[in-house]
Amino acid sequence: MKSTKMDERILVCVYYGPNGERLIARGCKLADMLECPLYILTIDPNPKDDWDIEKIHYVTRWKQLADEHGAEFIIKYNEKRPVAKVIGEVVRQKGITQVVIGQTAKSRWEEITKGSFINTLLNEIPYVDLHIVSISRELKNREGFYEKGIRAYIVRDDKGYKLCFNHTNNDMNWHAGIFYKEVGTDFNNGIFKFIKGDREIEVHVVDDYVKENIDEL
């Protein structure tokens, strides 16, 4: 956790989707400017054992960003209470003074898009500054272009790295990750995301094969 010159403490609330990194980036910018501690919170109504590969991917990435910026990452598993109550609890436990939250979200956080949620949250944390970050049209549109991410692999062959949905121990060069297939196509076209070293890599897949030269990434 960062040393602080001020009494500010920032909490970023994220949920699964492409807007999570943008919210974290906003929180990091505020924390750097104020030279204060940063916390990142995600809430899930399900137990960890029920997570799919896409959720695991997002959480892995957020933990990585938290480590990079000296932030504390907080996960609330199997949480059945209202979102505002959970946020309020963390705010009081950590002495939070500013909260960063998205204007639009999905699933459990759909209530955030309704005016009543903001009022509920303000009543829960009346002395905390609330930063509501709007999600860009580009990010929202991108969500609609791809199907839900699924576990997949890219395995090297004579033509390059080929997308596969299973692999054998005999495969020498391969990477595990998540494949997001383009909506409305019968072919394996889309985006493949994976972790290489300490970085998240995103590549494009066209007709089963990765377009980029992975060995140079």
Higher local confidence (pLDDT), 42 or 170: 42
Task: Give the position of tokens 């030269």.
Answer: 213
Domain of 166? 147-216
Mean pLDDT of 30-53: 88
Residue where a domain stops, chosen among 141, 165, 193 = 141
Q: Are residues 123 and 168 in the same domain?
A: no
Mean pLDDT of 36-60: 86
Structure confidence at residue 154 as a pLDDT band (50, 70, 90)? very high
User: Quick one: pLDDT at residue 191?
Assistant: 87
Model confidence pTM above 0.75? no
Determine the Cα–Cα distance for residues 30 and 100; give it in Å rounded to an integer: 10
Whole-angstrom CA distances from 88 to 122, 124, 127, 148, 214 are: 9, 6, 11, 31, 44
Q: Are residues 88 and 151 in the same domain?
A: no
Q: Are residues 154 and 124 in the same domain?
A: no
